[in-house]
Chain A
């Protein structure tokens, strides 16, 4: 069966500045990643990776970004991600770092990984939180997160069949 195979790279945006979270947008992240690929791999790398490059999913509250690229060029993309230093939007530059969490072949596998990762993060937060109400809130959300067909806690995305 002839179909285009993609790789979905799940990253987390780490930054010192709390204002950086607000300016995480699809365009800004896409431009920053493209710029880093251009600096590291040159024109060839930029052209290779931008064949099917999009930012599929973005969560500004947790800083999760899901990028899509072709299977042939995902190595170029992954090796250029450590070189992203700034996010630019609305004429403001914020220093940041991208941390790669998972590379998967479909959005569904990335979603499963993201649910497990968020569950672990919530567990860690549970240990640190001091307020009783926060504790109950977190426990409730831990018990209720699962992969369902409707909107689940980790985010909403449609399934990408892979056929284009």
Chain B
């Protein structure tokens, strides 16, 4: 006797749930990264470079290929200060 279609409905629901959440997460990550795939396995070098990108373009994933930096670039690298302990 063939398998009734009602028995496959739960599997369909499970697959749909996984699919929707996976697709939704992928879309959210895409939107967060400006339409590109997320960067993974970032080390300190990549973090420093991405911070430099942010200083150059305003966005952590923004890219530009100008030979010369925009006007405020030389002055927008801040000193990070701690409060004195003693």
Bind each other = no
